[in-house]
């Protein structure tokens, strides 16, 4: 059976950190759902992401699944502004829906990360080119160097699309 996933990239404006940034979730060492070690510990992923747990028939059902996933991973549903679908990937193995949204910086303080997370990382548009392909790293060892940001290619693309959607570059 084909796997379906939903996720979201949240962006916020923090001037002291360079302006608009994407909020990434760092994968922790321990996966409390599997009661075992987490794969690719120390790597980054979009703000919230997970498998669809119930069958869906329309975008409303998917948004309910996204809401469940956000609550599961972030503990609260932040007030979302400019919410839009960024990526819809559909192939023979999986179907992935990734949305993007802006939040006020004050919403970050309300987040309550679950036990499997390794924290949050804010990344600016200027640092997108430095994100490395997570597939180039060992799945068990993960990312030990905190100066390295590594993500799966489809999630890197989602973060890029979030910046394009919510902070389009203008020509001089």
Do residues 38 and 28 make contact, with C-beta atoms less than 8 angstroms apart? yes
Q: For residue 151, give the DSSP letter.
A: E
CA dist., res. 21 & res. 165, Å (int): 13
**What pLDDT, on the 0 to 100 scale, is given for residue 169?**
55
Could you report the per-residue pLDDT of 100-129, keeping only the tens digit for each?
Answer: 999 999 999 999 988 788 999 999 999 999
Kindly report, residue by residue over 32-84, the tens digit of the pLDDT.
Answer: 878 888 899 999 999 999 989 877 776 778 889 999 999 998 989 888 888 89
Mean pLDDT, rounded, for 74-102: 91
Provide the pLDDT for residue 171: 41
- pLDDT class of 31 with cuts at 50, 70, 90: confident
Give pLDDT, residue 170.
Answer: 46
Domain ranges of the chain: 3-166
Class of domain 3-166: alpha beta
For residue 128, give the nearest of 107, 152, 106, 159 by alpha carbon. 159
Highest-scoring range by mean pLDDT, 17-31, 80-94, 126-140 = 126-140
Q: What is the DSSP string of 46-109?
A: -SEEEE--S--SSHHHHHHHHHHHHHHHHSS----EEEEEEEEEE-SSEEEEEEEEE--GGGGG
């Amino acid at each position: 059976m084909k796997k379906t996933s939903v996720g979201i990239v949240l962006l916020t404006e923090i001037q002291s950190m360079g302006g608009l940034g994407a909020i990434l979730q760092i994968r922790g060492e321990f996966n409390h759902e599997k009661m075992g070690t987490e794969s690719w510990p120390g790597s980054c992923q979009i703000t919230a992401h997970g498998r669809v747990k119930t069958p869906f028939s329309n975008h409303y059902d998917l948004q309910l699944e996204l809401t469940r996933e956000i609550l599961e991973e972030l503990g609260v549903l932040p007030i979302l502004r400019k919410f839009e679908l960024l990526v819809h990937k559909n192939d023979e193995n999986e179907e992935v829906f990734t949305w993007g949204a802006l939040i006020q910086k004050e919403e970050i303080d309300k987040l309550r990360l679950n036990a499997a997370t390794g924290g949050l990382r804010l990344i600016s548009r200027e640092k997108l080119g430095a994100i490395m392909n997570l597939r180039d790293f060992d799945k068990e060892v993960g990312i030990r160097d905190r100066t390295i940001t590594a993500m799966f290619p489809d999630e890197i693309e989602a973060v890029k699309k979030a910046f394009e959607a919510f902070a389009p570059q203008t020509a001089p």
